[in-house]
Structure 1
Amino acid sequence: MTEIRDNRRRFLLKAAVAVAALPLLGRISPVQAAPLPKLPLTKPQAKALAYVEDASKTKNAAHKAGSNCANCQFFTAATGACALFAGYRVPPKGWCSAWAKKAG
């Protein structure tokens, strides 16, 4: 009887450890999200903000030399996402009239 009790305790201990480890499995191998689609120049918001894919090609008077998406506070380099164009990615060398210098 003691052997059965010890086996049961070992089983329950291993089961508890396995259940506790389940949430960690998601952190070990995260699922990659699909990349965002490129922002079309035809989108109304892109037009309204004078968005261009290459900052060096803009003729907008508000553009300052050296300003582009890569150094804008709205741009997330890891995903290419812009907070102003939700659901789309923009190139780091792009620019729009809402450009704001990244802090730091």
Structure 2
Amino acid sequence: MQPTRRIFMLQATMAALASPAIAQTSPVDETSETAVALGYKHDTTKVDTAKFPKHQPSQHCANCQFWQAKPTDAWSNCAMFGRKAQVAKNGWCNAWVKAPG
């Protein structure tokens, strides 16, 4: 018996839904263990500069080398937080490194 187009489409849809590349992400929780350890804040102006003296107001997630989206996107995955959480464009953490270019 040869598969029908309907069966093929159903199987393709199920495979796409099961794909880890389509996993849902949510914003980083600022109170999570990793965020606290890195001093992450969704807003770079809220960073405790006494605790993180290397912080500069011009530093934010969208100009960091770990930002994984377009610089104009509001949220992005970040290499420091893995694939399941996103950081804010105007956020900052102590792992910030200037993006090349």
Which category describes the TM-score, using the shorter chain as reference length? 0.5 to 0.7
Percent of aligned positions that are identical: 36
What is the deviation of 1:73? 0.3
Match of 2:98 among 78, 97, 101: 101
* TM score, norm. by length of structure 2: 0.66
1:72 aligns with 2:57: no
**Deviation digits for residues 8-58 of structure 1, max 9, x if unmatched?**
xxxxxxxxxxxxxxxxxx9xxx88825411111121110001000100121
1:33 aligns with 2:19: no
**What's the counterpart of residue 81 of structure 1?**
77
* TM score, norm. by length of structure 1: 0.64
The CA RMSD over aligned residues, in Å, is 2.2
The structure in which a higher percent of residues are strand is 2
Structure 1 gap ranges (5+):
1-25
**Contact kept? 1:77, 1:92, Cα under 8 Å:** no
**What's the counterpart of residue 42 of structure 2?**
53
Between the two proteins, the alignment pairs up a number of residues equal to 76
Structure 2 gap ranges (5+):
1-11
| Greater C-alpha Rg | 1
